[in-house]
Amino acid sequence: MSSLQSRKDEILAKKAKLAELKKQRELRQKEFTSNRQSLDVSEVSTMNRSRIVDRKLTDRLASLSYTLKSEAD
């Protein structure tokens, strides 16, 4: 397999992973919204930290994907 094809495959895999992370984040957001009334303050704080970490990870993957795509073009 050529280096270019390998790079494209890597980019596609990262895009798929990014899409999956976004889907998981959306599902967690919906769950969070529906369960919001039943949560106490400490649970909300823990979930907010988790969402921040997830967002940072998603942002980094998006940036990497964009960088790899730019390099491939």
pLDDT tens column, 28-50: 988 888 776 665 556 666 767 78
Give percent of the chain above pLDDT 70: 82
State the pLDDT at residue 26: 93
CA angle 16, 62, 66 (to 5 degrees): 100
Q: Which residue has the higher pLDDT, 20 or 39?
A: 20
Q: Which two tokens stand for residue 33?
A: 């919204």
Question: In the chain, how many domains are there?
Answer: 1
Q: What is the pLDDT of the chain when averaged over all its residues?
A: 82
pTM assigned to the model: 0.44
